[in-house]
Amino acid sequence: MIKIYHFVVGMISTNCYLIQDEATGALAVIDPGDDCPELCAQIDKLGGKLDYILLTHGHYDHIIGVAALCERYHPTVCACEDEMELLQNGLYNRTSVHNIRMNSFNVDRLLHDGDTVALGDSTLTFIHTPGHTAGSGCYLVDDLMFSGDTIFCESVGRTDFETSDPRAMMQSVERIKNLDVNYNIFPGHSMFTTLDHERKYNPFLR
């Protein structure tokens, strides 16, 4: 089972998640969008060992805090292989657009659709959901979905960025709609939701 600690970080209120495999205590951070002392304090409280940083995509508001966490805890950083161009391009990840100085970091493991990440006794599955960006993806574990900027409560992510693709977004949304679990959805911004709620109220899933 997974325990979730939620933090809202950065200039545009990004949801950052610290998740813990309760059986073993193993920890991962999903989308550290800015430096967050409260996040570090919680990691230290839970033993001070961070196993993974899991990125749903590479826009600045989801990655600014990666370098500091890497320097402090030396986790394995995971991201979709199709997101590497965006991660390395200041125009694409919007750091240069917003005049943001961000320390560089390495991606240690490149993920592809269907790859799994073992977090203690829990297994997260990465599904590639392009649309918002070319390498956007979601992480599934138990009945939880960490959806990044693919699915929001009653909406979806923007598709007007440099590597966006509106048609791919609709295909990704259709794929998520047809999953056979009523996932509890933890998005990159705004409030939590469920897949059943989105099937009923999200105009992009109807």
Q: Under 8 Å CB-to-CB from 197, ≥6 apart: which residues?
A: 153, 154
Query: Does 206 reside within a domain?
Result: no
* Residue 142: how many other CB atoms lie within 10 Å: 13
pLDDT-derived band of residue 98, with 50, 70 and 90 as boundaries? Answer: confident
Average of pLDDT values for 95-106? Answer: 89
CA distance 22 to 36: 23
Q: If you average pLDDT over residues 62-77, what whole number do you get?
A: 98
* Average pLDDT score over residue span 50-78: 98
Inside any domain, residue 160 = yes
CB-CB contact of 119 with 29 (8 Å): no
Q: What is the mean pLDDT of residues 101-129?
A: 97
Give domain status of residue 29, yes or no.
yes
- pLDDT (0 to 100) of residue 100: 86
Contact status, residue 50 vs residue 65, Cβ threshold 8 Å = no
Residue predicted with more confidence, 98 or 47: 47
Residue 3 token pair? 């325990």
**How many angstroms separate the CA atoms of 145 and 4, rounded?**
12
* Average pLDDT of every residue of the chain: 97
Residue 40 scores a pLDDT above 90: yes
Residue 82 lies in a domain: yes
CB 130 within 8 A of CB 172: yes
Tokens 């992480």, residue located = 139
Q: What is the pLDDT of residue 97?
A: 83
Question: Is residue 95, in this structure, part of any structural domain at all?
Answer: yes
Record the tokens describing residue 61, joined without a space.
């508001």
pLDDT above 90 for 55: yes
Alpha helices in 4-93 (DSSP H): 37-45, 66-73, 84-87
What tens digit of pLDDT does each residue of 131-182 get? Answer: 999 999 999 999 999 999 999 999 999 999 999 999 999 999 999 999 999 9
Could you tell me if residue 110 is inside a domain? yes
Q: Does residue 195 belong to any structural domain of this protein? A: yes
pLDDT digits (tens, 9 = 90+) for 15-36: 999 999 999 999 999 999 999 9
pLDDT at 199: 97
For residue 191, what pLDDT band results from cuts at 50, 70 and 90? Answer: very high
Least confident of 87-91, 100-104, 157-161: 100-104
**Domain harbouring 93, CATH code:** 3.60.15.10
Give the separation between CA 103 and CA 35, rounded to whole angstroms: 11
Percentage above 70 pLDDT, the chain: 100
The verdict on residue 171 lying in a domain is: yes
Our count of domains for the chain comes to: 1
Query: Would you state the torsion angle of the CA atoms of residues 59, 17, 193, 165, taken in this order, to the nearest 10 degrees?
Result: 20
Cβ neighbours for 62, distance < 8 A, ≥ 6 positions apart: 14, 31, 32, 33, 55, 56, 148, 149, 188
Domain around 151: 2-201
